[in-house]
Amino acid sequence: MVFYLSGVDILSSDKLGRLGVSKTGCKQRDSFVFESCKELSIPVVVSMGGGYSPHIADIIDAHANTFREAKRIFE
């Protein structure tokens, strides 16, 4: 079983993470994790984490994208 902490403190707008990843990059990361788990038939548990952007909409959108990707891949 994979416990995936899908933190969005990697976003370029995040004041603490400093990794500079775009929302698209965040979504690609999620796709990679979910597709890998599906391909290997490994159950995955997802938990949201991080998100210190002054733009709350960026945090919400990035977290929502995680679950959109999960739905797309596992549905």
The pLDDT value given to residue 15: 87
Residues 6+ positions from 51 with CB-CB distance below 8 Å: 7, 8, 9, 11, 14, 59, 62, 63
The pLDDT value given to residue 17: 84
pLDDT per position as a tens digit, 7-53: 999 999 998 888 999 999 999 999 999 999 999 999 999 999 988 99
The pLDDT value given to residue 16: 87
Enter the pTM of the model.
Answer: 0.92
The pLDDT value given to residue 8: 95
The pLDDT value given to residue 18: 84
Which residue is listed with tokens 């993470």? Answer: 17
Q: Where are the domains of the chain?
A: 2-68
CA distance 74 to 28: 15
